[in-house]
């Protein structure tokens, strides 16, 4: 245990020194790279203006950090943004010289509808709800607003996604400083350089970067509200939290439900255990109340149901739609069908169904399934860009499970008294029950990685004190290799 503590302290000190020394180099590189798309004809001048605006947002957030942490906060954004700009330039110019950047079905849909919205003068959301038969319209208005205000183009929208993805890293660092400070620096670096998050930010035109950004901003705002000392900061945090939850209400509504359930759960639990919730003042409670009222009443004034109303409608639809409860067809469905057609007890079929879905959700996309065509368009159209991140995910998964179990024991036993960590635990629990229960894209899992790093570090810190942890970890990787080999053999025999 002492060895882990000393190693983590050394890592924190080394990374902090590197980040503090590298902030000016990273800033200079960003200033050099931002005009390049305009000079090369990849984008118009809107990308330069939007890129500078995103840097200004990071600067404003950074100036509100304590002086001792300000440089690390801004450096994390700088290098996270720089990596995403490089990835975006590679995809937009090097891989597609003289051509439009590849967009998948979802990205094409977002871009076309956003262009139509901007051309129509950004009509009221109620009209778009009827046209799309969906309440998830916030990303369309976000993209259309950028097109309208900045006279933007596709590259500018992708740069916006990259910037929002880059802001997640310093926000995670800042949030973690107030709840688990020893993990803050390595968590910020991992989020900044995590391959799947970079791919989701730079590839295509998806809503996941904005959803992740506003989710983390909401968590950051809620935690800071509980610790706020001044009226001015309380008002600013309430505004940022209400803005974040309002966006999520219009983009991925069930997240707002989870936030509300988590806050109620934490309040009740802390009251029952007589744990002080608001560390500074009761005004924090008033701010939380106003924040959630605005996030609910604002969208309802525009014609939306409440988040709980949307959640209940979606739940009933999902329960009545088999395709929403199971994953897409594949080899595992062949096994499932064989079991269902055999004379095996119904409970065993249900267990097999559940295990198949959980395994696919946790370990898919399977990195041992290689592309059928080795060309850029095919590779970028599928989920192969997530493969590097999947290897990191495989390595973290046992520690995440161990850490979550340890956090669960601490909360149930009453040892854990930090409202922010209790809330994080409850939020992760609700999100993963939802994710594992219905047919959602693996992108929904990837955007949770920044939050899952907390139980991952708890798991690493706790398990590495046991002498046999290396043998168990090696056995875990051997089992993955065996599953991969067996899967490939079965695919060869079946298809």
Token duo for residue 427: 């939020």
Residues sharing a CB contact under 8 Å with residue 136, sequence separation 6 or more, in sequence order: 207, 250, 251, 252, 253
Q: Does 181 reside within a domain?
A: yes
491 within domain boundaries:
no
Angle, in degrees to the nearest 10, between helices 346-363 and 387-413: 120
pLDDT at 96: 59
What pLDDT is attached to residue 454? Answer: 96
What's the domain count of the chain?
Answer: 1
- Do 76 and 192 meet the contact criterion of CB atoms below 8 Å apart? yes
Closest alpha carbon to 366 in 204, 483, 493: 483
Retrieve residue 195's tokens.
Answer: 């391959």
Say if residues 263 and 285 touch (Cβ distance below 8 Å).
Answer: no
> Which tokens in the block code for residue 350?
């249900």
Contact 158, 86 (CB under 8 A): no
Whether residue 82 is contained in a domain is answered as yes
Omega of the bond leading into 443 within 30 degrees of 0 (cis): no
- List C-alpha distances in Å: 463 to 4, 400, 412, 453: 10, 11, 20, 15
d(CA 356, CA 114): 38
pLDDT tens for the 495 residues of the chain, in order: 456 667 888 888 999 999 999 999 999 999 999 999 899 888 899 999 999 999 999 999 998 899 999 999 999 999 999 999 999 988 877 665 555 466 778 888 899 999 988 988 887 666 666 667 677 889 999 999 999 999 889 999 999 999 999 999 999 999 999 899 999 999 999 999 999 999 999 888 899 999 999 999 999 999 999 888 788 889 999 999 999 999 999 999 999 999 999 999 998 998 888 877 655 567 888 889 999 999 999 888 877 888 888 887 776 666 555 555 555 545 445 555 555 555 555 667 667 777 888 898 999 899 999 888 887 767 776 788 899 999 999 999 999 999 999 999 999 998 998 889 999 999 999 999 999 888 788 889 998 999 999 999 999 999 988 889 999 999 999 999 999 999 999 888 876
Give the Cα separation of 241 and 239 in Å (integer): 5
The pLDDT, as a whole number, for residue 357 is 84
Residue 9 lies in a domain: yes
**CA 82 and chain centroid, separation:** 19
* Cα 435 from Cα 427, distance rounded (Å): 12
The CA-to-CA distance between both ends of the chain, in Å, stands at 49
Residue 289 gets the label, from left (phi > 0), alpha (psi -120 to 50) or beta, of alpha
Residue 384 lies in a domain: no
- Alpha-carbon distance of 447 to 215, in angstroms, equals 9
Is 14 a member of any domain? yes
Residue 63 falls within a domain, yes or no?
yes
What is the domain extent for residue 55? 1-101+153-189
CA-CA distance, 142 to 163, in Å (whole number)? 14
SS3 string, the chain, reads CHHHHHHHHHHHHHHHHHHHHHHHHHHHHHHHHCCHHHHHCCCCCHHHHHHHHHHHHHHHHHHCCCHHHHHHHHHHHHHHHHHHHHHHHHHHHHCCCCCCCCCCHHHHHHHHHHHHHHHCCCCCHHHHHHHHCCCCCHHHHHHHHHHHHHCCCHHHHHHHHHHHHHHHHHHHHHHHHHHCHHHHHHHHHHHHHCHHHHHHHHCCCCCHHHHHHHHHHHHHHHHHHHHCCCHHHHHHHHHHHHHHHHHHHHHCCHHHHHHHHHHHHHHHHHHHCCCCCCCCCCHHHHHHHHHHHHHHHHHHHCCCCCHHHHHHHHHHHHHCCHHHHCCCCCHHHHHHHHHHHCCCCHHHHHHHHHHHHHHHHHHCCCCCCCCCCCCHHHHHHCCHHHHHHHHHHHHHHHHHHHHHHHHHHHHHHCCCCCHHHHHHHHHHHHHHHHHHHCCCCCHHHHCCHHHHHHHHHHHHHHHCCCCCHHHHHHHHHHHHHHHHHHHHHHHHHHC
- Structure tokens belonging to residue 201: 């930010």
Cα–Cα distances in angstroms (integers) from residue 283 to residues 64, 277, 286, 297, in the given order: 20, 12, 5, 21
Please compute, for residue 36, the number of CA atoms within 13 A of its CA located in the half-sphere on the CB side: 15
In a domain, 148, yes or no: no
The residue written with tokens 């004379």 in the block is 343
């Amino acid at each position: 245990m002492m060895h882990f503590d000393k190693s983590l302290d050394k890592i924190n000190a080394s990374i902090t020194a590197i980040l503090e020394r590298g902030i000016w180099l990273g800033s200079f590189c960003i200033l050099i790279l931002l005009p390049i798309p305009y000079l090369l004809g990849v984008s118009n001048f809107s990308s330069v203006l939007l890129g500078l605006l995103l840097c200004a947002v990071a600067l404003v957030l950074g100036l509100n950090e304590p002086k001792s942490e300000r440089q690390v906060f801004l450096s994390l954004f700088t290098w996270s943004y720089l990596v995403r700009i490089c990835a975006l330039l590679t995809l937009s110019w090097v891989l597609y010289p003289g051509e439009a950047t590849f967009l998948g079905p979802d990205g094409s849909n977002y871009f076309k509808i956003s262009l139509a919205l901007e051309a129509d003068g950004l009509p009221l959301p109620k009209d778009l709800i009827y046209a799309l038969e969906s309440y998830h319209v916030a990303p369309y208005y976000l993209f259309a607003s950028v097109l309208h205000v900045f006279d933007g183009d596709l590259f500018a929208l992708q740069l916006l996604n990259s910037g929002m993805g880059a802001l997640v890293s310093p926000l995670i660092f800042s949030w973690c400083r107030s709840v688990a400070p020893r993990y803050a620096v390595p968590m910020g670096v991992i989020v900044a350089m995590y391959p799947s998050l970079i791919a989701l930010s730079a590839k295509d035109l998806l809503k996941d970067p904005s959803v992740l950004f506003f989710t983390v901003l909401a968590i950051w705002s809620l935690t800071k509200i509980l610790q706020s000392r001044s009226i001015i900061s309380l008002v600013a945090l309430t505004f940022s939290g209400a803005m974040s939850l309002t966006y999520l209400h219009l983009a991925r509504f069930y997240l707002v439900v989870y936030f509300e359930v988590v806050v109620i759960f934490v309040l009740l639990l802390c009251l029952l255990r007589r744990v002080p919730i608001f560390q500074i003042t009761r005004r924090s409670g008033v701010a939380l109340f106003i924040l959630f009222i605005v996030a609910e009443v604002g969208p309802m004034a525009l014609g939306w149901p409440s988040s709980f109303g949307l959640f209940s409608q979606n739940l009933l639809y999902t329960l009545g739609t088999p395709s929403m409860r199971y994953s897409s067809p594949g080899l595992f469905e062949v096994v499932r069908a064989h079991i269902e057609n055999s004379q095996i007890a119904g409970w065993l079929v249900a267990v097999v169904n559940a295990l198949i879905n959980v395994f696919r959700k946790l370990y898919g996309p399977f990195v041992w399934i290689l592309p059928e065509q080795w060309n850029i368009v095919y590779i970028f159209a599928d989920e192969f860009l997530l493969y590097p991140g999947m290897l990191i995910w495989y390595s973290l998964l046992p520690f995440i499970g161990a850490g979550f179990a340890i956090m669960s024991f601490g909360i149930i036993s009453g040892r854990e008294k930090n409202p922010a960590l209790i809330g994080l635990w409850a939020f992760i629990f609700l999100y993963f029950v939802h994710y594992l229960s219905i047919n959602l894209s693996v992108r929904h899992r990837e955007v949770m990685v920044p939050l899952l790093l907390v139980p991952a570090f708890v798991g690493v810190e706790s398990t590495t004190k046991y002498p046999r942890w290396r043998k168990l970890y090696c056995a875990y990787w051997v089992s993955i290799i065996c599953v991969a080999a067996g899967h490939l053999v079965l695919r060869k025999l079946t298809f």
